[in-house]
Every structure is written in C-alpha cells, then in structure tokens.
Amino acid sequence: MTSATSTEPAVRRPRYLIVRPAPAVGGANGGDEVIYKRSIAYLQRSADTELFELQPVGKVRQILEIFRGAPPEATRFTGGDNAERLAAVLAASSFDVVCLFNEVTFSYAGQVKAAGIPVVLIAQNVHSLVAATDPSAIARLLRPMAVAFERRWYADPGLALVCISRADVEGLKAAGIHRTKDLWIAPAGAPPAKPLAAGAPILNEAVLTGSYGWWRKRRDLKAFAAGDSLGTPVLATDPLALEILGDEGRKVEASEVDWSAGLRFGLITDAFVGGFKLKSLEYIANNCIVLSMSDIAIEYEGIPHAEEFMRITPTKAEARRAIESILAQPHEDVVERFREFKAACMARYEWEACLAPLGDAVTSRLSTGRPLENVA
C-alpha cells in the first residue's frame, strides 16, 4: 500500500520591502521604534520581508528640501545616496508591496510607483495637524508646507494610507484631504498592564515618561516648568526632562517605580497633537490618570469614565486643579472607576487588533500588483 502525496502546488508567500528611517543613536526605545518593531513582526507572519533603512542626510540637504516646500521633520532622510541604494534594491529583487514607514520616507513613493510596485504609506504623525494645534508663530509658518506635502502624498489615490490615530485622520480632513477609500487606522497598542493592588490609594505623585529630543516637546515642557508649582512631585527618567523640570522633578529609574502601589497622574505636556499615541496608553497601563495639555480625547470616545481619567488640561493651573479635585474624592470609588476605564482601554488597544488594519492595508495592495504565482 503506497501513501498518497499531494499534487497541489504550494502558494508563494508575498514579498514585502519595508522602508524605514535608520534608528537614531540611543533612540531604540522610542515610540516610533516600538511601532516599527511590532508592525514589521506582524507582517512577517504572513509574508517574506526585506528591510531597507534610509540613512540621515546633512543639514545643508535638509535646508534645500525645506526651500523646496517640505516640512522640516520630513527632510531628514531625503537625498544623499538613499535613492540610488533603493533603486538597486528594487532592481535586484521582486517585491509585491513596498511599505514606507514614517512620513520621512514618503518622498520615495514616486520612485517605487515608477518601478510598478504598489505602495503603502504608514504615517507616524500628520504634521499639518501638529502645526495646526501648535500655538507658536513658527507653526503658522510651517503649516502650509505640511499641508502641501500631505496633499501631494496622502491624497494620492494610487497610494494606500495607514494612520495611527483618529486624530490624524481628522487632521487630514482639516487639511482638505478627504479620502473615501484605501485609508486605514492602525493605532498603537497598549503595553502589558501592571496590576493595581487591592485597596490601592491615589498617590500625590505625577509621572513624565518619554524622551525629549524633539524641539517641540522640549519647548512645551519648558513652558510647563516655567509656571507656578504643580504642587505634586514629578517622577521622570529622561535627563533632558529632569534638567528642564528643575526642583519639581524627581529622578527615578523606571524599574524603581512600583506601578501597582496606587494611582498616579501621567503628564503629557505637549501643546500640539502628536506623539501621544503610546505615551497615553503607557500611563493607563501603569495605573496613571492622564493629564494632557493637548486634546487627544477623540481616541478614548466611548470608553467608560474617559472624561474623568483622560483629562484635557491645557494649562498647568488646570492640571493642578484636576489633581486636587481627584485627591479630594473618596479614593476607593475613584480607583474602582479607574479599573473599569483601564480594562476598556486595554481591550480596545490590544496590539493584535490594532495591527489588523495594517495587515488589511498591505494585503489589499496584492490584488493591484502582480499576481501571486503558485510554486510547484
């Protein structure tokens, strides 16, 4: 008796080229790196991938691109030998889809389209939204550049677009970009949640996490620090943040903080809407009530007790009043409501569910590119 062997041909896995900016020195733990790592690992489960890293260009080249109308944040990887290296990779291999991660890579979309390969843009920030919500004079000057850049790339119907927040999509609408198809929202997911001890109190401590290499974030933190005292010590790990906070800051190591001991207050001192996606979820997972100077409430609409625990506090004085108000309430009741809020947030922003739209966006491009051939 002989065993039967299948004569069905195996289906070739799709091949994706992942284009991303090269990691910054010392920036391996930044929010963008978390999104790259999670997203690329998710795509690798169903496809073969090749990684292409764009190298940063010099200041002179960046200034040239700004004069050509690009927003400053999008110029850091445009030019140099990046286009030549990318052309060589595209010519050497056959790809079904090219994924351009972060808007600093989007200027290469035309080159990929010319090679006849479908493109998916994965935006990190919508810079017209950043500029529109930034109260400074320089933001008003930069916004037309950002709008023009986004209308060129984000509005291109031949390019699939993935945003990582509902706020970003609303920002695009404000910039006159009303996409009706080939647009997905794949938000950043939540980190593992820290348990909250039974009988946990509300602690009179604030927390400031993240890095402050971006000039906008440093500027806004300086404005926050310049105001009257918050009346609550601010735990921080970033050296730049601690230097800016001065006497209000308390240096800690992340491993030293007992996140289960009680509720704290997580500060988002950015006056502009951008870069909040992971930070707010990190705070919630670490049992912190969020106090945000920028309006990010849209991401938490429909979640129980969101208005209580996702507080929009545009000024330091409002943040101080929010802390005083919450501390004055019966702690047990507040903590119980926070548990419900946190559980709903962790469910909505579970990584697998958050990355599914990214997978849908990329696989949708397969039908527009060359067909997957069966491999005998």
Q: What's the rounded mean pLDDT across residues 226-254?
A: 93
Place of tokens 């927040």: 165
Structural domain contains residue 232: yes
Determine if residue 302 is left, alpha or beta; phi over 0 gives left, psi from -120 to 50 gives alpha, anything else beta.
left
Structural domain contains residue 197: no
Q: What's the rounded mean pLDDT across residues 283-298?
A: 96
Question: What are 327-339's pLDDT values in tens digits?
Answer: 999 999 999 999 9
Same domain, 341 and 365: no
Residue 275, pLDDT above cutoff 80 = no
Give the whole-angstrom CA distance, residue 336 versus residue 286: 15
Same domain, 171 and 206: no
> Are residues 188 and 164 in contact, defined by beta-carbon separation less than 8 angstroms?
yes
Total of domains in the chain: 2
Q: What is the mean pLDDT of the chain?
A: 91
Same domain, 261 and 363: no
Q: What's the rounded mean pLDDT across residues 72-76?
A: 90
Closest C-alpha to 189, from 25, 310, 355: 355
Range of the domain at 158: 13-188+352-371
Same domain, 162 and 128: yes
Same domain, 122 and 260: no
Residue 1, pLDDT above cutoff 80 = no
Same domain, 217 and 357: no
Same domain, 104 and 214: no
Question: What are 351-373's pLDDT values in tens digits?
Answer: 999 999 999 999 999 865 444 43
> Are residues 15 and 332 in contact, defined by beta-carbon separation less than 8 angstroms?
no
Residue 308 has a pLDDT of: 97
Same domain, 260 and 124: no
Residue 375 has a pLDDT of: 31
Structural domain contains residue 242: yes
Structural domain contains residue 128: yes
Same domain, 112 and 176: yes
Same domain, 242 and 176: no
Same domain, 328 and 244: yes
Q: Residue 143 sits in a domain of what CATH number? A: 3.40.50.2000
Structural domain contains residue 252: yes
Residue 5 has a pLDDT of: 53
Structural domain contains residue 196: no
Q: What's the rounded mean pLDDT across residues 311-325?
A: 97
> Are residues 99 and 19 in contact, defined by beta-carbon separation less than 8 angstroms?
yes
Residue 4, pLDDT above cutoff 60 = no
Beta strands in the chain (DSSP E): 10-11, 15-21, 48-54, 97-101, 119-122, 160-163, 183-185, 202-208, 234-236, 249-251, 263-268, 288-292, 310-312, 374-375
Residue 10, pLDDT above cutoff 90 = no
Structural domain contains residue 1: no
3-state secondary structure of 261: coil
Q: Is 179 exposed, middle or buried (0-12, 13-18, 19+ CB in 10 A)?
A: middle
Residue 371 has a pLDDT of: 43
Closest C-alpha to 349, from 294, 284, 288, 295: 284
Residue 372 has a pLDDT of: 41
Same domain, 280 and 177: no
Question: What are 22-57's pLDDT values in tens digits?
Answer: 997 765 557 889 999 999 999 999 999 999 999 999
Structural domain contains residue 8: no
Residue 9 has a pLDDT of: 57
Among the residue ranges 66-70, 117-121, 159-163, 204-208, the one predicted with the least confidence is 66-70
Residue 321 has a pLDDT of: 97
pTM: 0.89
Instruction: Output phi, psi for 80, to 5 deg.
Output: 65, -145
Question: What are 106-139's pLDDT values in tens digits?
Answer: 999 999 999 999 999 999 999 999 999 998 888 8
